[in-house]
Amino acid sequence: MLVQSKLLRLRRIHRLLPSTFSSVRRCRSYSSPPLRNDAGLTVTQVVELLQNPLNHWDYDKLRPFLFEASHHLLHITIRLNSIPKALDFINFLGDRTEHHQALSRVFEGALELATQHPNSQKELLMLHSYRKSIGGRIALTSRSGFLLLKCLGKAQMVEDSLILFKELDSSSKSSEICNELLKGLFRSGGIDGALHVLDEMLERDSDFPPNNFTGEVVFRVLGEQERRGRSFADEEIMGLVTKLCEHGVFPDTFKLTQMITKLCRHRKNGVAWEVLHVVMRLGGAVAVEAASCNALLAGLGRERDIQRMNKLMAEMEEMGIKPSVVTFGILVNHLCKARRIDEALQVFDKLRGKGEGNNRVGVEPDVVLFNTLIDGLCKVGREEHGLSLLEEMKTKKQSRPNTITYNCLIDGFCKAGNIGKARELYSQMIEEGVQPSVVTLNTMVNGLCKHGKVHNAVEFFNEMKGKGLKGNAVTYTALISAFCGVNNIDKAMQYFDDMLSSGCSPDAIVYYSLISGLSTAGRMDDASVVVSRLKQAGFGLDLTCYNVLISGFCKKKKLERVYEMLNEMEVTGVKPDIVTYNTLVSYLGKIGDFETASNVMKRMIKEGLEPSVVTYGAVIHAYCLKKNVDEAMKIFEQMCSNSKVPPNTVIYSILIDALCKNSNVEKAVSLMDDMKIKGVRPNTTTYNAIFKGVRDKKMLQKAFELMDRMIEDACSPDYVTMEILTEWFDAVGEIEKLKCFVEGYPVSSSSALSPTSNCF
């Protein structure tokens, strides 16, 4: 009976323990009032007693402390001020009593001493190992559990943490302890364990509900960019946020924004939306500020989700969440990217107070907003309007034009072909003291290259190098593509080497442009070298790159290399598209391998790819090469009746050429008429084919008629046309008509006007 009542009393004391944290801290000054046990000894006297060697310790004098006031043992242990002595004390008592509370208190004291130690982490771990070595016979107090979990968490000892947590009885568990465990588990990537602990904390009427520190830990982890171990499932994120908010624990603006940003970056707009709305619903405008909404708006904008952007903006207004200048920046950017530039300008005018309701929002447009608009205007060819905004910026202190402002405008004028204005803007920015960046350099170089001024581009680049501005992968891509474009492959290769030796790190695109240039030039060996260099640099080929290479190898009739590419595509998981199949079908048709060509087409259809006009063209071309024009015409008829893929200019040209070569000029002429009816515009190649046919059949009148039609179609003759017609017209004495034709006058004798009079 007596023992039982004592135990009960002890348990009551025990329950008070979490609140003794602060008193423990106060004890560290070792100035607690003298406490006396039943044997008349004060705490100070006991501490003195324990300073004696171990064999002088008197258990009987100590005993009352063990039962009457075990919490005094904590003070005594701390005042020993020595961890080895504390351990002696534990061993001494452990040999003499079964009383767990006493041991627990002394152990707690030892842990407190360890936290004071300069190398506290090591000492705490040592005490943990000690406790483990005696089989965990020492029960843990709440404070002990807290200290040990904190240290195990730091040491990332997940297993030990979990075991320790399980050992704690539920009355010793507290929110603080759970938080420490969570922190440790998250630190070592043990999400599953952490979620389990959180489940307990988040239960209804939990003894250790989540507090703000729990929120700190959990929300920080949810917002982290990358983490080891597995990441959270969408439902887990939603569940945690919802339940924590239901317990009144909300993320701060920073963490909420970070969480939403992360979700949006991982293309999880749906979850991001839900998260924000849970916090909005449970916490209201106090818990959600514009920054978090901005993060979601930006994510929605990236996915072009206009509807939800509008909905969120409306909700912000309804809840009284004040939009910031960034909010409007995102909105304007989105409208510009959707090419809805006039709506963007309307929003902008509202901010400037130019529209109706003078600036109700109280947000001044900043540099970014101006830049966004200027870029938007330039991208739709309204660079002059952009220029007027530049002037407006110059008059405002808070939004002076910066490098990006000029970059946008320079690019706009370059793309519009106004290189002169682009150069002028460049000089202007230098005059205004706005520093050009590598983007400025790239924009100018690319603009000059795209307008046939490769030499000027090189000059500009060298000039900038002299000013200490280095080029990057983008600069070299522009130059390499330009030199490939004018078939100066050696120069392109030289720039590629320059790039590598100048220490510029190439991106995948610069490799792609060189591979494409080399392949189109038929230099497949060089292309292969670049491919292996690309792989060495850790990049992979993409679909278009494979297509370009396959096409190059086909032209060189290197079938084994084509198959090599196709195999590689399969291994690396790059799925062939219609372009790949068309290239193959076209090649197989040209070498006359109809069987393989038809197998490839079957596979293409099996893969769910519909034959395109190019596929039909390849097949028709193949039949024509085999002099099987009848079969080619049959396919053509099929295309005409199946309106899904109507024949285009190329298909007509192929057939007209083949019919003419097959001496069926009448049919070819009727196809020309068919084109006119169907509204398919012939090009120079088409006319060259039919001219050859009518020349071989000496159908002079038909030739005149076609010449007039060629002029009507605004299609100009090239050197092939002239070759076909000159000798023939010379022989039949009609060379004057050819002159008229070249000048763009009608020549058909059925014309009412006298053509010759017009010619001279």
CB atoms within 10 A of CB 673: 10
Please report how many Cα atoms fall inside a 13 Å half-sphere around the Cα of residue 507, on the Cβ side: 9
Restricted to residues 649-668, the positions that interact with DNA (CB under 7 A) are: none
Count, residues in the chain: 760
Confirm or reject binding of residue 375 to DNA (CB under 7 A).
yes
Q: How far is CA 312 from CA 276, 292, 301, 306, 593, in A?
A: 10, 11, 12, 10, 59
d(CA 755, CA 747): 6
- For DNA, the closer of residues 149 and 373 by Cβ is 373
Confirm or reject binding of residue 512 to DNA (CB under 7 A).
yes
CB 328 within 8 A of CB 347: yes
According to DSSP, residue 344 is labeled H
d(CA 384, CA 627): 57
Applying CB under 7 A, among 402, 428, 456, 628 the residue interacting with DNA is 402
Residue 659 beta carbon to DNA: minimum distance, rounded to whole angstroms: 31
Segment interacting with DNA, rule: CB under 7 A, options 154-162, 352-360, 434-442, 652-660: 434-442
Give the pair of three-digit tokens for residue 423.
């150069």
CB atoms within 10 A of CB 614: 19
Identify the bridge partners of residue 42 per DSSP, sorted by sequence position. 36
Is residue 564 classed exposed, middle or buried when 0-12, 13-18 and 19+ CB atoms within 10 A define those classes? Answer: middle
CB 453 within 8 A of CB 487: no
Applying CB under 7 A, among 37, 141, 175, 371 the residue interacting with DNA is 371
Confirm or reject binding of residue 439 to DNA (CB under 7 A).
yes
Give the pair of three-digit tokens for residue 219.
């929300």
Confirm or reject binding of residue 569 to DNA (CB under 7 A).
no
Residues whose CB is less than 8 angstroms from the CB of residue 118 and which lie 6 or more positions away in sequence, other chains included: none
Confirm or reject binding of residue 291 to DNA (CB under 7 A).
yes
Confirm or reject binding of residue 345 to DNA (CB under 7 A).
no
Confirm or reject binding of residue 294 to DNA (CB under 7 A).
yes
Return the closest-CA partner of residue 486 out of 459, 520, 460.
Answer: 520
Segment interacting with DNA, rule: CB under 7 A, options 15-23, 61-69, 402-410, 694-702: 402-410
What character string, x for contact with DNA (CB under 7 A) and - otherwise, covers 302-331? ----------------------xxx--xx-
- For DNA, the closer of residues 401 and 717 by Cβ is 401
Applying CB under 7 A, among 343, 507, 568, 674 the residue interacting with DNA is 507
Residue 757 beta carbon to DNA: minimum distance, rounded to whole angstroms: 49
- For DNA, the closer of residues 448 and 724 by Cβ is 448
Applying CB under 7 A, among 121, 346, 488, 544 the residue interacting with DNA is 544
Confirm or reject binding of residue 404 to DNA (CB under 7 A).
yes
d(CA 72, CA 83): 17
User: ∠ CA(290), CA(291), CA(292), 5° rounding?
Assistant: 95
- For DNA, the closer of residues 148 and 548 by Cβ is 548
Residue 487 beta carbon to DNA: minimum distance, rounded to whole angstroms: 13
Confirm or reject binding of residue 298 to DNA (CB under 7 A).
yes
User: ∠ CA(707), CA(709), CA(712), 5° rounding?
Assistant: 115
- For DNA, the closer of residues 108 and 411 by Cβ is 411
Confirm or reject binding of residue 179 to DNA (CB under 7 A).
no
d(CA 488, CA 482): 9
Segment interacting with DNA, rule: CB under 7 A, options 54-62, 105-113, 345-353, 367-375: 367-375
Return the closest-CA partner of residue 635 out of 664, 665, 655.
Answer: 655
3-class state of residue 42 by DSSP: strand
Applying CB under 7 A, among 408, 565, 619, 655 the residue interacting with DNA is 408
- For DNA, the closer of residues 198 and 449 by Cβ is 449
Place of tokens 């682009």: 422
d(CA 648, CA 678): 10
- For DNA, the closer of residues 317 and 542 by Cβ is 542
Return the closest-CA partner of residue 318 out of 335, 343, 293.
Answer: 293
- For DNA, the closer of residues 400 and 590 by Cβ is 400
- For DNA, the closer of residues 577 and 631 by Cβ is 577
Residue 511 beta carbon to DNA: minimum distance, rounded to whole angstroms: 9
Confirm or reject binding of residue 282 to DNA (CB under 7 A).
no
CB 406 within 8 A of CB 376: no
Applying CB under 7 A, among 530, 548, 554, 706 the residue interacting with DNA is 548
Residue 668 beta carbon to DNA: minimum distance, rounded to whole angstroms: 32
CB atoms within 10 A of CB 670: 13
Restricted to residues 43-82, the positions that interact with DNA (CB under 7 A) are: none
Residue 380 beta carbon to DNA: minimum distance, rounded to whole angstroms: 12
Applying CB under 7 A, among 161, 179, 481, 721 the residue interacting with DNA is 481
Confirm or reject binding of residue 586 to DNA (CB under 7 A).
no
Q: Where are the alpha helices (DSSP H) in 643-683?
A: 649-661, 665-678
Give the pair of three-digit tokens for residue 709.
């039609």
Residue 500 beta carbon to DNA: minimum distance, rounded to whole angstroms: 15
Q: What backbone phi and psi angles, to 5 degrees, belong to 42?
A: -85, 165
- For DNA, the closer of residues 443 and 653 by Cβ is 443
Segment interacting with DNA, rule: CB under 7 A, options 209-217, 362-370, 693-701, 749-757: 362-370
| Cα 440 versus chain centre, distance | 24
Restricted to residues 446-465, the positions that interact with DNA (CB under 7 A) are: 446
- For DNA, the closer of residues 71 and 421 by Cβ is 421
Confirm or reject binding of residue 369 to DNA (CB under 7 A).
yes
Segment interacting with DNA, rule: CB under 7 A, options 234-242, 249-257, 339-347, 456-464: 249-257
Q: How far is CA 128 from CA 17, 147, 447, in A?
A: 21, 10, 69
Return the closest-CA partner of residue 737 out of 707, 710, 711, 692.
Answer: 707
**Helices and strands (DSSP H and E) totals, the chain:** 43, 0
Residue 649 beta carbon to DNA: minimum distance, rounded to whole angstroms: 20
d(CA 558, CA 561): 6
Segment interacting with DNA, rule: CB under 7 A, options 5-13, 256-264, 350-358, 582-590: 256-264
Residue 326 beta carbon to DNA: minimum distance, rounded to whole angstroms: 4
Number of residues in contact with DNA under rule CB under 7 A: 52
- For DNA, the closer of residues 62 and 321 by Cβ is 321
Give the pair of three-digit tokens for residue 522.
């038929």
Residue 410 beta carbon to DNA: minimum distance, rounded to whole angstroms: 9
Beta-strand runs (E) in 59-105? none
Segment interacting with DNA, rule: CB under 7 A, options 354-362, 384-392, 442-450, 584-592: 442-450
Confirm or reject binding of residue 254 to DNA (CB under 7 A).
yes
Applying CB under 7 A, among 76, 249, 295, 671 the residue interacting with DNA is 295
Confirm or reject binding of residue 403 to DNA (CB under 7 A).
yes
CB 340 within 8 A of CB 309: no
Confirm or reject binding of residue 478 to DNA (CB under 7 A).
yes
d(CA 594, CA 589): 6
Confirm or reject binding of residue 232 to DNA (CB under 7 A).
no
Residues 208, 211, 216, 219: what is their CA dihedral angle, to the nearest 10 degrees? 80
d(CA 243, CA 201): 10
- For DNA, the closer of residues 361 and 720 by Cβ is 361
Report the interface residues with DNA, using CB under 7 A.
253-254, 257-258, 261, 290-291, 294-295, 298, 324-326, 329-330, 333, 366-369, 371-372, 375, 402-405, 407-408, 411, 437-440, 442-443, 446, 472-474, 477-478, 481, 507, 509-510, 512-513, 516, 542, 544, 548
